[in-house]
Structure 1
Amino acid sequence: MRERLLKLFPAVGVAATWLCISCSHGSNSIKMKGSDTEVNLAVNLAEKFTEEDPDFSIAISGGGSGLGITSLLNGQADIANSSRPLSEKEQQQFKEKNIALKTVVFAEDATAFVVHKDLPIDEIEVEMLAEILSGNITNWSELTEANLPINIYGRQSSSGTHSFIKKKLAIEFSNAAKEMTGNAQIIEGVKADRTGIGYVGAGYVADDPVGSQGIKVLKIVERRGEKAISPLDQEAINQRNYFFQRPLYQFVLAESWDKVRPFIAFERSVVGKKLIEDHGYYILNNQSDEI
């Protein structure tokens, strides 16, 4: 009898949760690690895939894009989910180890900035956001009538989302920013803190509207005088008008490609694409790698 098991494994410095779908052993066993942004989607894709092909076993964990990529380097994963491209350093590390990769860009994501539901702000300019996250603005009174200190809820440096925001805003994060392990922790932190601001995958918010109660998704103004755009506005995303949107990657060991190929094909099927869209992500027309 096949079973679905939720197992917790200790990890140094990282809270790693493994979900083993249709657990079994053999050549059809796939290990997938990485981006916390993608982990909920990955779990649901794996569940549906193994319903159609129960001979497969897929073990999934989050922990950040950097962790997934490091796992590929160490031979501990077949697929690394990543919300950022490989860095030059990582590319060099794979080259030095003579490890070949295939790159799959399977969806488009938008990063949402969230605040407590009672904070009197609905939109924010990119310039002001950079000032907040870098620690140059430390009180909400500079933007609203609320005289409250600003608490920043972010991710560890291993997170692809952390790297994406840092690069997009051309900033160094404030030393006072709280480093959380994932989207859920950021949302819970902001829900409990009227002064808080954090960033999460928009798909995560859209996928769990009940769990997201108590927070407010800010609209983003790229330049003063321009229209404020929500990361939940699919039309704006399709037109690439939202400032914080990016492709989502899956890096696959070339030596694992043959066994991973059926799963990638499922992601690109009608059922797979619908799951991706149901999670609040967006389908790309130009996906890499022939399958």
Structure 2
Amino acid sequence: MIAALSGCSKQGGATTDTTEPANETTNESDVTATPEATDTAESTETPAAEDLSGTITITGSTSVEKPLTAMIDEFTALNPDVTINYTGTGSSAGISDTLAGANDIGASSRSLKPEEEVDGLKEVTFAHDGIAVAVNPANPITDISTEDLAKIYSGQITNWKEVGGNDADIIVVSREGASGTRSAFEELIKLEDAGGLVEDATVVEGNGNVQTAVAGNENAIGYVSFSFIDQTVKGLNVNGVEGTEENAKSGEYPLSRPFLFIYMEDKATPTIQAFLDFALSDEGQGFVEEHGGIRVD
């Protein structure tokens, strides 16, 4: 969404490398595509225990790292003969790996592009991510555009009166560089195209610290997971759309995106299919929710 809060409770067979490319959208496959109908993700009960074995290689988005790692740890604890290796390389790289046969499952925190939708490629939405724009309750504005967000966060707009608010300097609050929520927010508002994050932004770690900073300053603006909007901060509509789970799931809310697993249908072994089923089970969806995502059910 989105951003994550805590780690998992059990140890498993996952190994991670969370280096994210500077720009995920620049490493795309040149495959000529024929669109394939995608799977509809539905939450299921946890699959029954089976005699599963083998190794699954997952590469792709770093934004999905925390819920995915929790799923991997639990699944491999339940199936000790299974090893799952996850490397965070970025969504585009994960998709390219899947198309090239270099992984078993690709993880993506964006929708597939038309040229990436080839025959035999399947996708499963296992979570949704939504990011709320938070301001102080005393701030009179109720709606903001993604274009103005980019201008605020790049320093082109510096006073609230420029977007219909009070005559006061805007205090920009952002997340630490390693934050998946920051990466998603900046990508969705196209901050890089606007010049990148303004140098004097207040940078804090975690959703809670963003919430606290905005709650304590009438002129601050920040971004948090939906669950951190309460009476202490006010969530703004974005492009006229309210930030709700329903609007995030439908894609209508601009600061939302799907979390996807993609795989080639002819490579889906019983072990791979069992892990995909686990991700959509009640237990797997619990890890999504625990780490700040939105369940698919």
CA contact (8 A) 1:100 1:253 kept: yes
Paired with 1:112 and 1:32, the residues of 2 have a C-alpha distance of 29
Paired with 1:71 and 1:249, the residues of 2 have a C-alpha distance of 14
CA contact (8 A) 1:113 1:199 kept: yes
Paired with 2:19 and 2:250, the residues of 1 have a C-alpha distance of 41
- Name the counterpart of 1:220: 236
Query: TM-score, with normalisation over the residues of structure 1?
Result: 0.60
Paired with 1:217 and 1:79, the residues of 2 have a C-alpha distance of 39
- Name the counterpart of 2:128: 108
Q: 1:132 aligns with which of 149, 152, 169?
A: 149
Instruction: Say if 1:120 and 1:69 are closer, same or farther in 2 by CA, change over 3 A.
Output: farther
Instruction: Say if 1:140 and 1:58 are closer, same or farther in 2 by CA, change over 3 A.
Output: farther
SS of 1:36 mapped into structure 2:
coil
Instruction: Say if 1:151 and 1:282 are closer, same or farther in 2 by CA, change over 3 A.
Output: closer
- Counterpart of 1:252, as a letter, is Y
1:276 aligns with 2:295: no
- Name the counterpart of 2:80: 54
Deviates more, 1:260-269 or 1:146-155: 146-155
- Percent identity between the two aligned chains: 23
- Name the counterpart of 2:267: 256
Shift in Å, 1:188: 11
Shift in Å, 1:275: 2.2
1:75 aligns with 2:101: yes
CA contact (8 A) 1:133 1:174 kept: yes
Paired with 2:64 and 2:74, the residues of 1 have a C-alpha distance of 16
- Name the counterpart of 1:18: none
- Please show how residues 1-291 of structure 1 align to structure 2 within 5 Å: 28-91=54-117, 95=118, 100-113=120-133, 121=139, 125-127=143-145, 129-134=146-151, 137-142=156-161, 143-144=165-166, 146-148=168-170, 164-166=188-190, 173-177=193-197, 202=225, 219-222=235-238, 229=242, 242-258=253-269, 259-285=271-297
- Counterpart of 2:57, as a letter, is K
Paired with 2:252 and 2:99, the residues of 1 have a C-alpha distance of 35
SS of 1:147 mapped into structure 2:
coil
Paired with 1:9 and 1:107, the residues of 2 have a C-alpha distance of 21
CA contact (8 A) 1:152 1:196 kept: no
Higher RCO structure, 1 or 2 (CA under 8 Å, sep 6+): 2
- Counterpart of 2:197, as a letter, is A
Shift in Å, 1:175: 1.5
Paired with 1:189 and 1:76, the residues of 2 have a C-alpha distance of 39
Query: TM-score, with normalisation over the residues of structure 2?
Result: 0.59
Gaps in structure 1 of 5+ consecutive residues: 15-25, 179-183, 210-215, 286-291
Instruction: Count residues with an aligned counterpart.
Output: 239
Instruction: Say if 1:107 and 1:222 are closer, same or farther in 2 by CA, change over 3 A.
Output: same
SS of 2:193 mapped into structure 1:
coil
Shift in Å, 1:218: 5.5
SS of 1:266 mapped into structure 2:
helix
Instruction: Say if 1:60 and 1:163 are closer, same or farther in 2 by CA, change over 3 A.
Output: same
SS of 2:295 mapped into structure 1:
coil
CA contact (8 A) 2:106 2:263 kept: yes
Paired with 1:237 and 1:13, the residues of 2 have a C-alpha distance of 25
- Name the counterpart of 1:21: none
Shift in Å, 1:60: 1.6
CA contact (8 A) 1:106 1:283 kept: yes
Paired with 2:171 and 2:144, the residues of 1 have a C-alpha distance of 19
CA contact (8 A) 2:235 2:243 kept: yes
Paired with 2:208 and 2:255, the residues of 1 have a C-alpha distance of 22
